[in-house]
Chain A
Amino acid sequence: MSAKKKVLIINRRAPYGRSNARDSLDVALTCGVFELPVSLLFADDGVYQLLGEHDAQGIGQKNLSATMAALPMYDIDQLYVCEQSLKTQGLETSDLANAPTAVDQDAIQQLIKEHDVVLTF
């Protein structure tokens, strides 16, 4: 594989209700397997993906938080969360698992600029 591209994955959907979050995680883990550096940004309803200890049993879904917890094993440790979205959803960084870095609009612009590829889910 040629020069390593830095990949930013932007997650904007709630963890359940549609397949975006699961699809995104699968892509992130595959990037990890192929040693492509990957950062994750959570924004809009996507911030809910960062809440720890989901219990998805009641809706017959697989629990995503267990997979999220495995991210560091794939060397995925650059996690960012949109400050504005957290505020909108009434959440604090202390509510979140995986210790993401809170970023404002300027920092998000910078993140997008720093990465070669941006994928949205």
Chain B
Amino acid sequence: MGFFLWQNSWLQMIFTLIVQAAPYSHQSADTAYRFAKSLLDQGHSLHRVFFYADGVHTGSALASPPQDEPNIPERWQQLAQDHQLDLVVCIAAAVRRGVLDANESGRYSKPGHNLADGFELSGLGQLVEAIAVSDRTLTFGA
């Protein structure tokens, strides 16, 4: 086992995932989560998950799927908590789609905010930084 882990460490890589698919619309939203979980289970590290385009809806705290369906935002939150993940939601893509944190809600004088805990609004610079430091960057749901 020790040898196995030692051998494995040579293959350890830093990943970044870009999620463009809206939750509940595309299988790739689900695939992104399962890919993230698998890579972490195998001992790789996940530098950042960047939610872009319709993928920003993953960061909504208001998603209320039927009980027999996975709660996609909550699953990401749990994974982020277990592995100290950086879940970044593209701010430009999010605010135009109505995914706001308290700050943006104030800026645009909106009646509420809905960005789930564990997610953070930030800019495309965060994506470029992640690409620069990761061994692999994968896109889900373009």
Residues of A near any B CB (own CB < 8 A)? 1-2, 4-5, 7, 12, 19-20, 23, 26-27, 30-31, 33-34, 36, 117, 119-121
Contact = CB atoms under 8 A, between A and B. Distances in A.
A5 B124 contact: no
B13 interface: no
Contacts of A7: 131
A59 to B, nearest CB: 17
B92 interface: yes
Contact of B124 (A1, A2, A30): A30
Nearest to A1: B132
A119 B137 contact: yes
A23 B132 contact: no
A68 B62 CA distance: 37
Interface in B119-139: 123-125, 127-129, 131-133, 137, 139
Contacts of A12: 142
Interface of B: 18, 20, 52-53, 92-93, 123-125, 127-129, 131-133, 137, 139, 142
B132 A4 contact: yes
Given A1-B132, A36-B132, A119 B18 contact: yes
9 contacts: A1-B133, A23-B53, A26-B124, A27-B127, A30-B123, A30-B128, A34-B125, A117-B131, A119-B137
B92 to A, nearest CB: 7
A121 B142 contact: yes
Contacts of B139: 119-120
Given A19-B53, A23-B52, A2 B131 contact: no
B133 A23 contact: no
Contacts of B124: 26-27, 30
Contacts of B133: 1-2
Contacts of B18: 119
Contacts of A30: 123-125, 127-128
A5 B53 contact: no
B97 to A, nearest CB: 10
A95 B137 CA distance: 33
A113 to B, nearest CB: 15
A102 B43 CA distance: 42
